[in-house]
């Protein structure tokens, strides 16, 4: 068995992201990428801890957009975050998304 090339690994990574991001709106995902607060902002607001950024989708929406989110907006944001590599989990019964600091904003 040969070692896979970087390009082969990138293709496999893309396939896996597509499976995770079922139903994502690509235009909205690109908008989210553009509107994400800087890593310094996330640190200053207290969302960075132990090398990871953890935030509830409603809080992230408030940092990025002027209007209040609907339930549909939150679901759409969640699908976009998962497509960008964020891990979905729960903390104290609340939906949160987490990503390592070194992967944030890529």
pLDDT above 90: percentage of residues in the chain: 57
- Say if residues 43 and 105 touch (Cβ distance below 8 Å): no
The pTM of the full predicted model, rounded to 2 decimals, is 0.78
Whether residue 23 is predicted with pLDDT greater than 80 in this model: the reply is no
Task: State the fold for domain 23-103.
Answer: Arc Repressor Mutant, subunit A (1.10.10)
Residue 104, pLDDT score: 87
């Amino acid at each position: 068995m040969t070692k896979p090339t970087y390009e082969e690994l990138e293709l496999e990574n893309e396939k896996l992201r597509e499976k995770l991001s079922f139903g994502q709106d690509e235009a909205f995902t690109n908008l989210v990428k553009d509107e994400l607060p800087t890593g310094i902002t996330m640190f200053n607001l207290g969302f960075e801890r132990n090398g990871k950024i953890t935030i509830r989708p409603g809080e992230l929406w408030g940092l990025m957009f002027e209007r209040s989110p609907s339930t549909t907006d939150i679901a759409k944001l969640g699908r976009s975050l998962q497509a960008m590599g964020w891990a979905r989990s729960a903390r104290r019964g609340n939906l949160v998304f987490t990503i390592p600091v070194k992967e944030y904003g890529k």
